[in-house]
Each structure stands twice: as C-alpha cells, then as structure tokens.
C-alpha cells in the first residue's frame, strides 16, 4: 500500500445494509441444486469447509451434514470437491 492510499478507517461509509447478512437469502434463486447421497458420505466435512455460503452444516446430534437451501446458490463446489462423489448437481424438476 502506498502512503497516499486511505486506510479503511479513512474511507467514508458508502452504504448501510438494511439487515444482517443472515437476512439475505443468497440461495433464493439457483439453477442447480446439490443432491446428497447419505450412503456415500463419510462425513469428512470437506464440503462444510469449502462451501462459500456456509450452507452446509454438520449436526453433531445426528452425526450428519445438512444443507440450508436458503443460502445455497448452486455453485457446485461441494460436488466438485467431495472425495466420494456423494453430492451431485441437478436441475430441479418444475
Ligand atoms: S452448491 Fe455451492 S453454495 Fe450450494 S452447498 Fe454446494 S458449495 Fe455451498
Ligand atoms: S465432502 Fe462428501 S463425503 Fe465429505 S462430508 Fe461432504 S458430502 Fe460427505
């Protein structure tokens, strides 16, 4: 950073979001949906770590992962990175 650039403290506030990030459903539209096959899942949690929306969570009480489709935007990273191919991306039938 050059000495002339402003720090974040000096930049004026441009916008104030009307609600917290949890209030914006990033997954309210999508083309593809992840389909999870429980029998192939080893609960390695790779998908939980890599989902950019935090839309996959591990539930200790069930010992399984679950998807929050309100935030899943169908990017397919989870399906690409799953080592056991337990997730496939599908276009939902209307
Ligand atoms: S498709 Fe993308 S956003 Fe949806 S659960 Fe997988 S990694 Fe997350
Ligand atoms: S990456 Fe695949 S095997 Fe690992 S927890 Fe996710 S769905 Fe299960």
Nearest CA to ligand 1 atom 4: 72
Per-residue pLDDT, 27: 81
CATH of the domain at 56: 3.30.70.20
- Test site for ligand 1: of 28, 56, 65, 86, most ligand atoms within 8 A of the Cβ: 56
Tokens read off for 52? 């950019």
Q: Which domain holds residue 48?
A: 33-90
Domain count, the chain: 1
Q: Is 13 contained in some domain?
A: no
Does pLDDT of 87 surpass 60? yes
pLDDT of 1 reads 53
Q: Quick check: is 40 in a domain?
A: yes
Residue 44, phi then psi, degrees to nearest 5: -75, -20
Burial 26-61 (b: 16+ CB within 10 A, else e): ebeebebbbebeeeebeeeebbbeebebebbeeeee
Confidence (pLDDT) at 28: 81
Pocket lining for ligand 2, CB < 6 angstroms: 36, 41-47, 65, 82, 84, 86-87
Is 6 part of a structural domain of the chain? no
Secondary element (H or E) of residue 89: strand 87-90
In a domain, 1, yes or no: no
Q: What is the pTM of this model?
A: 0.79
Q: Which amino acid residue places its CA nearest to atom 4 of ligand 2?
A: 44
pLDDT, tens only, 8-23: 788 777 766 666 667 7
With respect to residue 8, please indicate whether it lies within any of the assigned structural domains: no
pLDDT tens by residue, 29-66: 889 999 999 999 999 999 999 999 999 999 999 999 99
Number of alpha helices (DSSP H) and beta strands (DSSP E) in the chain = 2, 4
Q: Which ligand is nearest to the CA of 63?
A: 2
Q: Is 71 within a domain?
A: yes
pLDDT at 78: 98
């Amino acid at each position: 950073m050059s000495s002339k650039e402003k720090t974040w403290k000096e930049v004026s506030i441009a916008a104030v979001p009307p609600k917290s990030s949890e209030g914006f459903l990033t997954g309210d539209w999508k083309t593809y949906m992840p389909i999870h096959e429980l029998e192939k899942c080893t609960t390695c949690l790779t998908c939980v770590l890599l989902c950019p929306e935090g839309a996959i969570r591990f539930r200790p009480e069930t010992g399984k992962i679950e998807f929050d489709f309100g935030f899943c935007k169908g990017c397919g990273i989870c399906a690409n990175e799953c080592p056991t191919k337990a997730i496939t991306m599908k276009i939902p039938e209307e």
